[in-house]
Amino acid sequence: MIIADTSLTEYAIELNGVRKAYEKKGLKKRLVNALTLRGFVGEKTTALDEASLKVRRGEVFGLLGPNGAGKTTMIKVLTTILTPDSGTAIVDGFNVVTESLKVRERIGVLYEDSERGFGWRLSTWTNLMFYAREYMVDNPRKRVEEVLKIVELEGEDAFKWFQKLSKGMKQKAALARALIPDAQVLFLDEPQRSLDILFVLRLKQLIKEKFGKPGRTIFLSTHDMHLIEETCDRIAVIDKGRIVKVGTVEELKSLFKSMKTSSYTLEVAHDQIRGLNRLAEEILHVDGVEEAKPLDLTKLKVGVTRDKPDAVNQILKTALEHGYHVTALTEEEISLEESIAKILRGEVT
Amino acid sequence: MLGYLIIDFNEWVSYKLEISFWLLNTLIGAITYAYLGSNVALQNQEYMAQYGSFLSFLLVGMSFNYLIYASLEAPRMAINPWNLEWNLTLPTSLYEVIIGSVFFRYLVGLLQFTLYLSIASAFGVTYAIDTASTIVTIILGAAVMWGFGMISAGVQVITKRWDPVTWFFTMLGGLLSGVWFPYQLLPPSLQNLSKVMPQTYILEMLRRAMLRSESIPSLWESLYPLMITAFIILSIGSFIYSKSIKYSKKYGTTGEF
C-alpha cells in the first residue's frame, strides 16, 4: 500500500467521481429479492452522482445545495462513516476507505445531528474529557478548558448534565467536541444551528480565523447564505448529488453578467392621478425592455436585455418626457442567495 | 389519552419481529416458572445433594446469568445507533471501542455475581470452591458468550432492534440450560436442545468448580471443548460484527434506529 506524503499534496480534500446510492427498500425486501433469485438488490436513490471537487489546504470551503442534494452524504463519506460505491475520496492525503484510521486521526467533525454521541446524564466537561482521551490529546484537561473557552461554555454550564443544556448550548458543546483534536481538517455541518445571534457573529469570526490555526482547512455545509458569504474562500453548489458549480462568492455572483437580462428599479415621485401603470406601458415600448411592472406607488421593476445598452437611457428619457420626476434608477445587485437559486433552477450555465 | 395510545401502538407495531418474540417470551417465561414451581424432583434432596442444595444450585445459576447477560449485551450497547457514528469517527479501531465499552459492564456483572453469592452465604448457603477452575470457567464462559454477543450486535446493526441471538440465550437459555433447575429434568426432546447450548456446559462446569471443588484436571474433559468453542465463537462473532459495520457503512444505516 502506498501511503501518501501529506506534505506533498496541495489539496486537503479530493473527491474523484464519488458515487453513493441508497437502497429505497429495506433489508427485508432485498432478502425477498435474493430468495426469489432476483439478486440482493433493490431500487436505489442516488445521493452522490460522480461528485468531484478539490479543496485546497487552509481554505474555508462552503457546500451549498437544497435539501436532499447530497451534502450530508458527502460529509459522511469524507469522515469515513459511509463507504462510497465508487470513486475515491482523499482527506489530508489519505484514502477514506483504505486508510480510514489515518483520516480519523486528522479530522474534527460536527455533524448535523450533533447531540448524538453525548452522554445526556453526564456534564459537557465529562463528555469532552472522554473525547479528549480518545483523541489522545497531550493534556486533555487543558484542551477541554481551551475549547470550552472558544465556544463560551465555561463555568457552571460546563458542569451541568448535558440534557439540562439548551439547544444552543448543546450545539456549542458539539462544536467544542469537533475542536478537541485540534485537527488539520474540520468538517462543520450546519454549525450555526440553534445558536443565538451574538454567537453566530462570533462563529463567523472563529471560522474566518480557522479557530486559531491558520493552516486549518474548514469544510462547511450550511443553508445560511450569510455564513457562507462572509466566511468561505470558495463555494461548491451541489444538486441531486452532482457538483454543479464551484467558485468564489464573487465568481458565482458574476455568473449573472452572462445572463440575457438585467433588472433595474426605477423610482419616481408619487403621482396621485396617473399612478405607475401608464408609465409601465410606455416603457414597454422601449427597444430592449422585456418587462416593466409597478412594485408599489413609486417604484417600477424593469427588465432590460443586456445587448441593448442604450435601453437604460431610453427608459429615463421616456419617464421624463411623460412628466414623471425620476428620483433614482438602480441596477439590482444579485444576492448570493438568488445566484444559488438561479444556478439550481438551471437559469445560469 | 387516545393520541398517546395510538402513537405508542403505532411505534410498537413498527417493530414487527419484536412483537412476535415479545409474545413468545411471555409464554416461555410463564412455562419456566410453572415448571420450577410444580416439579417435585426439584424438592428431591437426594438429586440435589451432589450440588449441596437446591438453593446453592439455583444461586450459582442465577448469579452467573448476570455475567452471561453482560457478555451478550455489552457488544450491542457499544454500537447502539446513538453512539455508533461517533464511535466510528474516533481515531481508534473498532475492537478498541468494543473492548473499552464492555469493560465496565463486565465489572458490574462480576459485582452482581459476587454480591449474589455473598448474600446467599450470609443466609447459610455453603460453597466448595476451587479458585483456579472457577476463574478459568468464568473467563472461558464469558468469552463464549461474548462471541455470541458480537454475533447478536452484528445482527442488531442490521435489524435495528430485535436480534435472535440474545433472545435465544437469555430467554430460551433460562429454560433449557440449567439456570433454574438441572436440564436433565426436562423432557428428553428439550434435553437435546439443552445439549447444543454452550451455557449448559458452562453452568455445569461452574457448579462443579464452585459447589464440588473440582480442579482443572478433573474438569479438563469439559474445559478443552469449551476452549475450542470459545475460539470458534469469538472468531465468528468478530467476523460478523465487522461485516455488519461494513454493511451499515455501505447502506448508510449507522445512525438509524
Q: Are residues A249 and A285 in the same domain?
A: no
B156-185 exposure pattern, b = at least 16 Cβ within 10 A, e = fewer: bbbbbebbebbbebbbbbbbbbbbbbbbeb
Q: Which of A47, A105, A117 sits opposite B85 (nearest CB)?
A: A117
What's residue A40's pLDDT?
54
Inter-chain contact B252–A22, Cβ cutoff 8 Å? yes
Please report, for residues A106, B23, B175, B177, B186, the alpha-carbon distance to residue B190 in angstroms, rounded to integers and kept in the order given. Answer: 55, 20, 10, 10, 6
Query: Which of B89, B99, B249 to mutate: most A Cβ within 10 Å?
Result: B89
Query: Which of A134, A137, A186, A188 to mutate: most B Cβ within 10 Å?
Result: A134
Query: Which of A29, A77, A82 to mutate: most B Cβ within 10 Å?
Result: A82
What are B184's three cell numbers? 436433565
Average pLDDT over residues B180-189: 82
Concatenated DSSP letters of A122-145: SBHHHHHHHHHHHTT-SSHHHHHH
Residue B80 CA to residue B153 CA, distance in Å, equals: 9
Report the SS3 class of residue A268: strand
Chain A residues with CB-CB distance to B93 below 8 A:
101
**Do A37 and A207 touch, CB atoms closer than 8 A?**
no
Chain A residues with CB-CB distance to B87 below 8 A:
117
Q: Are residues A104 and A245 in the same domain?
A: yes
Average pLDDT over residues B211-235: 91
What's residue A270's pLDDT?
77
Q: Does B20 touch chain A (CB under 8 A)?
A: no
What's residue A113's pLDDT?
84
Concatenated DSSP letters of A7-22: GG-SEEEEEEEEEEEE
What's residue B119's pLDDT?
81
Q: For A345, how many CA atoms within 13 A lie in the half-sphere containing its CB?
A: 7
> How confident is the model over B78-101, as pLDDT tens digits?
666 677 888 888 888 877 877 777
Q: Are residues A307 and A222 in the same domain?
A: no
> How confident is the model over A218-249, as pLDDT tens digits?
999 988 888 988 999 999 999 889 998 899 98
Inter-chain contact A81–B254, Cβ cutoff 8 Å? yes
Mean pLDDT of chain A: 86
Number of domains in chain A: 2
- pLDDT reading at A1 higher than 50: no
Residue B123 CA to residue A171 CA, distance in Å, equals: 53
Q: Which of B85, B91, B252 sits opposite A116 (nearest CB)?
A: B85
What's residue B215's pLDDT?
93
Q: Are residues A183 and A260 in the same domain?
A: no
Which range is least confidently modeled, A25-29, A65-69, A104-108, B252-256? A25-29
> Which of A193, A219, A253 is the C-terminal boundary of a domain?
A253
**Do B234 and B158 touch, CB atoms closer than 8 A?**
no
Average pLDDT over residues B165-178: 76
> Which of A253, A286, A317 is the C-terminal boundary of a domain?
A253
Q: How far is B235 from chain A (nearest CA, A)?
A: 22
> How confident is the model over A133-181, as pLDDT tens digits?
989 999 999 999 999 999 999 889 999 999 899 999 999 999 999 999 9
Angle formed by the axes of helices B216-251 and B81-89, to 10°?
Answer: 90
- The complex scores an ipTM of 0.73
Does residue A293 lie within any of the structural domains? Answer: yes
Q: Are residues A74 and A213 in the same domain?
A: yes
Q: How far is A219 from chain B (nearest CA, A)?
A: 16
Greater model confidence, A78 or A346 = A78
Q: Are residues A76 and A200 in the same domain?
A: yes
Greater model confidence, A195 or B251 = A195
Q: Are residues A236 and A327 in the same domain?
A: no
Q: How far is B89 from chain A (nearest CA, A)?
A: 6
Average pLDDT over residues B148-172: 75
A16-34 exposure pattern, b = at least 16 Cβ within 10 A, e = fewer: eebbbbbbeeebeebeeee
Inter-chain contact B82–A104, Cβ cutoff 8 Å? no
Most confident listed range (A275-279, A340-344, B186-190, B211-215): B211-215
Q: Are residues A238 and A265 in the same domain?
A: no
Does residue A27 lie within any of the structural domains? Answer: no
Most confident listed range (A57-61, B56-60, B170-174, B233-237): A57-61
Task: Give the strands of the sheet with A234-239, arranged side by side.
Answer: A107-110, A185-189, A217-221, A60-64, A234-239, A242-247
Query: Which of A20, A76, A109 to mutate: most B Cβ within 10 Å?
Result: A76
Which range is least confidently modeled, A56-65, A91-100, A184-193, B155-164? B155-164
What are A18's three cell numbers? 464519488
> Alpha helices of A209-248 — where are they, by DSSP H?
225-231
| B residues 155..194 contacting A (CB < 8 A) | 158-159
Average pLDDT over residues A42-62: 89
> Which of A216, A233, A253 is the C-terminal boundary of a domain?
A253
What's residue A27's pLDDT?
61
Average pLDDT over residues A62-73: 89
**Do A128 and A159 touch, CB atoms closer than 8 A?**
no
> Alpha helices of B39-93 — where are they, by DSSP H?
45-48, 54-78, 81-89
Mean pLDDT of chain B: 80
- pLDDT reading at A207 higher than 70: yes
Report the 10 Å Cβ neighbour count for A178. 24
Residue A163 CA to residue A169 CA, distance in Å, equals: 10
Q: Are residues A114 and A229 in the same domain?
A: yes
Residue A187 CA to residue A95 CA, distance in Å, equals: 16
Q: For A254, how many CA atoms within 13 A lie in the half-sphere containing its CB?
A: 6
What's residue A34's pLDDT?
56
Greater model confidence, A40 or A149 = A149
Backbone angles phi, psi at A263, to 5 degrees: -105, 140
Q: Which of B82, B93, B251 sits opposite A23 (nearest CB)?
A: B251
Q: What is the CATH number of the domain that holds A270?
A: 3.30.70.100
Does residue A144 lie within any of the structural domains? Answer: yes
Q: How far is A1 from chain B (nearest CA, A)?
A: 19
What are B217's three cell numbers? 484436571
Residue B197 CA to residue A22 CA, distance in Å, equals: 39
What's residue A257's pLDDT?
60
Q: Which of A23, A113, A136 sits opposite B255 (nearest CB)?
A: A113
Which range is least confidently modeled, A203-217, A311-325, B60-74? B60-74
Residue B6 is given by DSSP the state H
Residue B214 CA to residue B210 CA, distance in Å, equals: 8
Q: Which domain does A331 fall in, by range?
A: 256-344
What's residue A145's pLDDT?
95
Q: Which of B88, B251, B255 sits opposite A22 (nearest CB)?
A: B251
Greater model confidence, B40 or B241 = B241
> How confident is the model over B60-77, as pLDDT tens digits?
888 887 788 777 777 777
Tell me which chain A residue has its CA closest to the CA of residue B85.
A81
In the numeric block, the cell 476452549 is attached to B227
Q: Does B250 touch chain A (CB under 8 A)?
A: yes
What are A11's three cell numbers? 489539496
What's residue A2's pLDDT?
41
Does residue A227 lie within any of the structural domains? Answer: yes
Q: In the A/B pair of chains, how many CB contacts fall below 8 A?
A: 53
Average pLDDT over residues B137-150: 88
Does residue A37 lie within any of the structural domains? Answer: no
Q: Are residues A70 and A177 in the same domain?
A: yes
The amino acid that residue A76 corresponds to is K
What's residue A39's pLDDT?
55
- pLDDT reading at B145 higher than 70: yes
Chain B residues with CB-CB distance to A47 below 8 A:
252
B1 Cβ neighbours under 8 A, 6+ residues apart:
none
Q: Which of A23, A83, A134 sits opposite B90 (nearest CB)?
A: A134
> How confident is the model over A322-344, as pLDDT tens digits?
888 888 888 876 667 777 777 77
What's residue A112's pLDDT?
87
**Do A35 and A66 touch, CB atoms closer than 8 A?**
no
CA B74 to chain centre: 11
Residue B105 CA to residue A250 CA, distance in Å, equals: 56
What are B218's three cell numbers? 478433573
What's residue A220's pLDDT?
95
Inter-chain contact B250–A83, Cβ cutoff 8 Å? yes
- pLDDT reading at A201 higher than 90: yes
Q: Are residues A151 and A298 in the same domain?
A: no
**Do B59 and B117 touch, CB atoms closer than 8 A?**
yes
The amino acid that residue B235 corresponds to is S
Q: How far is A226 from chain B (nearest CA, A)?
A: 29
Q: Are residues A127 and A110 in the same domain?
A: yes
Does residue A243 lie within any of the structural domains? Answer: yes
Q: How far is B242 from chain A (nearest CA, A)?
A: 14
What are A203's three cell numbers? 462563529
Please report, for residues A32, A64, A308, the alpha-carbon distance to residue A118 in angstroms, rounded to integers and kept in the order given. Answer: 37, 28, 61
Inter-chain contact B252–A136, Cβ cutoff 8 Å? no
Inter-chain contact A81–B89, Cβ cutoff 8 Å? yes
